[in-house]
Amino acid sequence: MNTLLSELLDITIPVVQAPMGGAAGPRLAAAVSNAGGLGTLPVWTSDLETTRALVRETRTLTDKPFAVNLNMEFPQEERLEACLEEGAPAVSFFWQDSSGLVDRAKAGGATVMHTVASTEDARHAVDSGVDILIAQGWEAGGHVRGSVATMALVPAVVDVARGTPVIAAGGISDGRGIAAVLCLGACGAWLGTRFLASEEADIHPEYRQHLFDAGEDDTAYLENLFGVGWRKAPHRVLKNSTLSRWLAAGSPRSGDRPGEGQVIGTSADRDIVRYMSHTPNEATTGNIEAMSMWAGQGVGLIRTMQPAGKIIEQLWSETQAILAGLA
């Protein structure tokens, strides 16, 4: 099945791996791309030398298209230039307005995507010239831009996109979810939590086990709880002891939260304090359960770890079977 997304990105399966900062690297992005989807490489916190090295490594692991992700909450002009110079085929922008960089990215030969959370966002992104919209529903894991559920957001964005293809994101974990958003008018699906359970994702084994043990009601949407490092950025995480302690204390503001400033672990290059925005990866030590374990509401559908290529194969097989049944 070919969609407009497949044609624009030169992929055979309209599934995009979400960037998942701290968990996704060249191995995961390349594995997804090699399987026919579009892998995504988060580089928005990397220094320029590391950014270049990550893009180069990904290019050595796959000859297929992949994307780099840049978070517009922070300055990204130099990182964008580095990615373009290294030949990144696609760029996805997230959070704030990316209109100032869209023309530069396209002039550099990249296909440009931007995450939106409302029809207002979508209209602005289309006016700025982006090639693809990513409609992120409230069910998504990690940092969440808006407050509208995927089922309502996707057709609303499609209706104002003026022919610009739309990728659906948020709460999608299997072929049923992909088939559903294709029926809503999306040209593809953007999955993050499902790929956290891949063999190539760099997350701590305890974090992965919490994903497997979780049900559909085991995530929480929070305005700023895990905001050390990126404040005032709403997010969705697995419920844990840090959240429970904060709720039991009456949900106090930053500065008065229980255990605030307490070191609960270490990563390869820093101490991890309670309430920090940090993905517990394999190099992280300490109280993993108390950290920000990002996950979307589709987490309850995930029970096994598989290679990313197998996940893509299974997702698309399920999707095709469902769509064939609707024909």
Question: According to the model, what pLDDT value does residue 37 have?
Answer: 98
Q: Which amino acid is at 221?
A: Y
CATH number, domain containing residue 58: 3.20.20.70
Same domain for 139 and 14, yes or no, is: yes
Same domain for 167 and 223, yes or no, is: no
Same domain for 65 and 101, yes or no, is: yes
CB-count exposure of residue 204 (10 Å: 0-12, 13-18, 19+): buried
Same domain for 193 and 253, yes or no, is: no
CB-count exposure of residue 311 (10 Å: 0-12, 13-18, 19+): buried
Collapsing DSSP to helix, strand or coil, 92 comes out as: strand
Question: According to the model, what pLDDT value does residue 3 have?
Answer: 77
Write out 55-75 in H/E/C secondary structure.
HHHHHHHCCCCEEEEEECCCC
- Residues 6+ positions from 194 with CB-CB distance below 8 Å: 172, 173, 174, 298, 302, 311, 315
Same domain for 104 and 219, yes or no, is: no
Question: According to the model, what pLDDT value does residue 1 have?
Answer: 66
- The owner of tokens 């006016």 is 127
Q: What is the DSSP letter of 117?
A: S
Same domain for 256 and 311, yes or no, is: no
In our burial notation (b when 16+ CB lie closer than 10 A, e otherwise), range 43-61 reads bbebeeeebbbbbeebbeb
Same domain for 39 and 150, yes or no, is: yes
Same domain for 166 and 211, yes or no, is: no
CA distance 115 to 170: 11
Backbone angles phi, psi at 5, to 5 degrees: -60, -45
Helix, strand, coil shares of the chain as percentages rounded to 5? Answer: 40, 20, 45
Same domain for 136 and 29, yes or no, is: yes
Query: What tokens does 42 get?
Result: 């988060």
Q: Mean pLDDT in each 10-residue stretch from start to end of the chain (327 residues)?
A: 83 97 96 98 94 98 98 94 97 92 97 98 97 98 95 98 97 98 97 98 98 97 90 94 98 95 94 96 97 98 97 98 91
Same domain for 187 and 219, yes or no, is: no
CA distance 301 to 307: 17
The stretches of 62-187 forming alpha helices (DSSP H) are: 77-85, 99-107, 119-128, 150-160, 175-183
**Strand segments (E) across 148-261:** 166-169, 188-191, 219-222, 235-238
Same domain for 110 and 253, yes or no, is: no
Total count of domains within the chain? 2
Same domain for 195 and 210, yes or no, is: no
**Domain limits for position 82:** 4-200+307-326
Q: Is the pTM of this model over 0.85?
A: yes
Go through the chain and tell me how many residues it has: 327
